[in-house]
Homo-oligomer: A and B are copies of this chain.
Amino acid sequence: MQQYFVNGKADKLVTITDKDTIKHMFNVMRLTEGDEVVLVFDDGVKRLARVTNVQEHTFEIVDELFDNVELPVQVVIASGFPKGDKLEFLAQKTTELGAHALWAFPADWSVVKWDSKKLTKKADKLAKIAQGAAEQSKRNVIPQVKLFEKKTAFLAQLAHFDKILVAYEESAKEGESAALTFELAQLSAGQKILFIFGPEGGLSPAEIKAFEGVGAITVGLGPRIMRTETAPLFALSSISYVLELAK
């Protein structure tokens, strides 16, 4: 069944005000009185809702649904600014794979230079992609998108996490393969994990040092070299496998 995210909290009678949502509901899906959809409010609970008035875009809540498809830990994916539209790709795919948020920051070896105007525009676009992907993959929350203009602002966030992992190619080259497994085995439900990835050129030694200085752990992701936009998908899949399938 079609799912939509709606800002605010669930009242008995809901009026949809977001114009993209209205357009999709009544122009694309052509919902009519009595049709049912799933609405997800800020509390992340899915609710079955029935159209009561097409012109006024109103729904009545019929039932609460109890399925929750969120990962048991909150995983924030942070990528050094990659080239082109790789963040758009990541916004869609990391949402499907359960990320709690997608962050990006200007890494030492990021080739692109994005000013604040460009970043605001890009963040808006990414947020829309994440919302669409969250609806399609029936998520309970829309991953937050945050693009940091300054690396210092990104670094200031690091204290808020229970665990920081850094995908580091050198770890993989040295044949290190156990660190990720070891770290994933330590996780407990509700923890906040930050998983950091470099841009195309990788992370600089200074960045690795800065991350390690606040307790980050470098981990390898196996023997093959993955593109910068593929590595986060491997990481999220592994986390899902360990915490959702192999439990």
- Is B245's CB under 8 angstroms from A240's CB? no
- Is A233's CB under 8 angstroms from B244's CB? no
**Chain A contacts to B: CB under 8 angstroms:** 67-69, 93, 96-98, 136-139, 177-178, 180-181, 220-227, 230, 233-234, 237-238, 240-242, 244-247
A223–B237 Cα distance when bound, in Å, is 12
A69–B237 Cα distance when bound, in Å, is 20
Other A-B contacts than A96-B226, A96-B227, A96-B230, 4 sampled, CB-CB below 8 A, are A97-B224, A97-B226, A137-B227, A233-B233
A230–B137 Cα distance when bound, in Å, is 11
- Is B226's CB under 8 angstroms from A137's CB? yes
- Select from chain B the residue with minimum beta-carbon distance to A178: B245
- Is B222's CB under 8 angstroms from A245's CB? yes
Given the known inter-chain contacts A137-B225, A138-B225, please indicate yes or no for A177 contacting B97, CB distance below 8 A.
no
A245–B237 Cα distance when bound, in Å, is 13
